[in-house]
Chain A
Amino acid sequence: MNLLAVGCSHRTTPVAVRERLGFREDQLPRALDALTSRLDCEAVILSTCNRVEMYVGRVLDHPTRSTALLDGDALAGFLAEFHSLPIEEVRPHLYVYHNADAVRHLFRVAASLDSLIVGEGQIAGQVKTAYEMGQKCAGPGPMLHALFPHARRVAKRVRTETGISRGHVSVSSAAVDYVRQVFDHFGDKTILVIGAGKMGELTLRHLRRLEPRRILVANRSPEKAASVARGCGGEAVPWERLDEMLARADIVLSTTGAPEPIVTLERYRRIAAQRDGGPLVILDIAVPRDFDPRIHDGETTCLFNIDDLKRIQEATLADRRKHIAPAEAVVEQETQRFLKEWRRRRNGPVIERLTQDLEAKREDVVRNLFARLNGRLTEGDRKFIEYAFVKLQNQFLHGPISALTEDQPADASGHTLLDALRKLFRLRE
């Protein structure tokens, strides 16, 4: 196996460098083409906002046109040249993984163990997309065709067998968790959006998935209210009718930039007196806060502010950290499984030829022996002799086959044990 993973990630490289080394989607076909033809190798490029990685491989017993060595420097040179950067600027930021370490690294990446937010689900999809893009450009060969689908299976196994992807890590999605503690069905619910902050938009996107009956948008600026309402399929309401809308709403999402609370305790008491529906959930994600925290009673009014939502985020991350060790164990197990399968796949035909060759020779020798001793052997003697030769053949093959199933790196001249066996036993291609 000659597999290499070279790249940089959020762990090793500042964003200012990463953004210069990244590949845009339209650049990828050209980059893959240049990489595979320059180094005569198979390749997949994974380029996301948090990492830029090149996975390249060359099957050792395949004849190669290129004399270029497949190493970190060659790939650093390619990366620097492609982005028109001096290699001295690029090389210090790159990490290089060889063979088993490269396999392990890809599995860790796909399983989101190397992500900025451990357990996030996006990276598995990005790995899949990178492989599919590689396939379109004829980048992957037999090695990467085996490796990338296996990485996808590892990601799935880690996700299902450990709790690494459990819970919500974004503030906006955590808000939905709180809402679900109070409400069960949303087809009859009204959401009132106050303000038009960026975080509010994200949270509203999550709340819209609950399919509420109605979305109302109130903003000091009628134009902004209309714009937000258009974006979320809601209706704009005048700011002056805020109290009336608060009395009607079931869920309130507040994200104004007001310097003072817009709903004080006294004002809310007047609003609550007008309410005749069920409980009201207020998601106050504005800083400074829009609602007086004293209005929270946990029954008729449930107020959750940005700190409460962040507590979910922190708790989820803490929970996920507990699952890192079991996830790493799965990755290690799968790495060993992949390497074993790869060796078996690569060496299988050679082992088969070797076995067939020796079997033919054994049968020939035994046949000659039996012809020579014809009439002087009982049936029991014949069986014993046949058994003894089979045993000798198996003992003879045991050493070479065991050696083949262990990882055998190529020597300095690029020769492997497989080449040696072919020569020693004069195996035909």
Chain B
Amino acid sequence: MYGISLVCFATSYTAALGLEVWCQFRPRRILYFLGLLFGAAGLATQSVYLAFQRPVGWMLILAWVLAIFYLYGALHYQRLAWGVFVLPVILGLLGLSLLFGPEADQLSLPDASFWGEVHAALLLLAAVGVCVGLCASLMYLFRAWQLRAKTLPGRGLRLPSLERLEQMNRRAIDWSFPLLTAGVVIGLFLMIQHPLTAWTDPRVLSTAVLWLTFLLMVVLRYGWRLRGRLVALLTIVAFLLLVCCLVLGHSLRGGAT
């Protein structure tokens, strides 16, 4: 693995975050490009790490997808505080991965068959949606706070408009819910066919709670036409449940290795 460890790319992302924060308060092109460079370096080293590392961790893959999302946003919304909200989520996932050990969040498939892989891929994509929703929700809440305080335009952290953030969160939920539902349904069938995991397994239970939270969000969003802060808060709850799904099972089984 060319001596690459999790600490290498975590350090790159931390440097990118520091530069991003600095750039928000002292806007300089050089800071922006340096931040981008560190972010890209982190992504490159993480890619190499994931290509050779076995077993592969859920949280590492999630962090990797989010790093791509960060670079896309940083290039697309050059003047906005994109990284200030996305990079801490990436670092949080890397921190959890480091805390619980590489085996803690490894991809545990109920079945190594084709459907087992589809189940895992769908859950992973749904998890990416939840993470994107989390970033959008955090930015939404911050933007709403800025508006409530009537912060002068262009002062403080620069963010997309309230409308754009609400739309981003809505899309993340719209994409995640069907993926999560399909993943859960396939998982149920696999469990019925090959009962390797108990129904009371904390991962199964927390996934069920996560799906119910999503269902609640969808009902509130489209049934009750609820928008804004409550949906953003529920997305944060969904992310916390996702983290629980990823780490709870292992910690209840005996802690990090």
Contact = CB atoms under 8 A, between A and B. Distances in A.
Interface residues of A, number: 24
B154 interface: yes
B157 to A, nearest CB: 12
A298 B145 CA distance: 7
A180 interface: yes
Contacts of B153: 174, 177-178, 180-181, 312
A302 B160 CA distance: 16
Contacts of B48: none
Nearest to A182: B162
Interface stretch (B186-194, B223-231, B246-254): B223-231
A167 B161 contact: no
B163 A298 contact: no
B225 A276 contact: yes
A15 to B, nearest CB: 32
Interface string B156-168: 0000111110110
B185 interface: no
Interface in A162-181: 167, 174, 177-178, 180-181
Nearest to B159: A181
A315 B150 CA distance: 13
Interface string B125-167: 0000000000000000001111111101111000011111011
B161 A298 contact: no
B152 A300 contact: no
B228 A299 contact: yes
Interface in A297-345: 297-300, 302, 304, 308, 311-312, 315
A167 B154 contact: yes
B154 A302 contact: no
A181 B166 contact: no
B154 A279 contact: no
B147 A300 contact: no
Contacts of B145: 298
Contact of A183 (B146, B161, B225, B229): B161
B161 A180 contact: yes
A298 B149 contact: yes
A288 interface: no
A184 interface: yes
A299 B150 contact: no
A312 B152 contact: yes
A2 to B, nearest CB: 44
Nearest to B143: A181
A257 interface: no
Nearest to B145: A298
A312 B154 CA distance: 10
B148 A297 contact: yes
Contacts of B162: 181-183, 279, 299
A244 B160 CA distance: 30
Contacts of B164: 184
Contacts of B167: 184
Nearest to B167: A184
A311 B152 contact: yes
Contacts of A297: 148
Given A298-B145, A302-B147, A182 B161 contact: yes
Given A278-B166, A299-B228, A315 B160 contact: no
Interface in B189-240: 225, 227-229
A308 B150 contact: yes
Contacts of A181: 143, 146-147, 153, 161-162
A280 B221 CA distance: 18
Given A278-B166, A298-B145, A184 B150 contact: no
Of B154, B155, B160, which is in contact with the most chain A CB atoms at under 10 Å from its CB? B154
A169 to B, nearest CB: 13
Given A183-B163, A315-B155, A298 B228 contact: no
A299 B163 contact: no
Nearest to B140: A299
Contacts of A312: 152-153
A174 B144 CA distance: 19
A279 B160 CA distance: 15
A300 B148 contact: no
A183 B143 CA distance: 12
A304 B228 CA distance: 20
Contacts of B225: 276
Given A183-B161, A276-B225, A279-B162, A299 B154 contact: no
A177 B163 contact: no
B118 to A, nearest CB: 36
A174 B162 CA distance: 18
Nearest to B227: A278
A180 B161 CA distance: 7
B163 A279 contact: yes
Nearest to B144: A299
Contacts of B163: 182-185, 278-279
B112 to A, nearest CB: 45
Contacts of B144: 298-299
A183 to B, nearest CB: 5
Contacts of A279: 162-163, 228
Contacts of A276: 225
Given A182-B162, A279-B228, A299-B144, 14 more contacts: A180-B153, A181-B143, A181-B162, A182-B161, A183-B162, A183-B163, A184-B161, A184-B164, A185-B163, A278-B166, A279-B162, A296-B148, A298-B148, A299-B162
Q: 10 tightest A-B contacts by CB? A: A298-B148, A177-B153, A298-B147, A184-B161, A184-B164, A299-B144, A184-B163, A182-B162, A183-B163, A315-B152
Interface of A: 167, 174, 177-178, 180-185, 276, 278-279, 296-300, 302, 304, 308, 311-312, 315
30 contacts: A167-B154, A177-B153, A180-B153, A181-B146, A181-B147, A181-B153, A182-B147, A182-B161, A182-B162, A183-B162, A184-B161, A184-B167, A185-B163, A278-B163, A279-B162, A279-B163, A279-B228, A296-B148, A297-B148, A298-B144, A298-B146, A298-B147, A298-B149, A298-B150, A299-B148, A299-B228, A300-B228, A304-B150, A312-B152, A315-B155
Interface of B: 143-150, 152-155, 160-164, 166-167, 225, 227-229
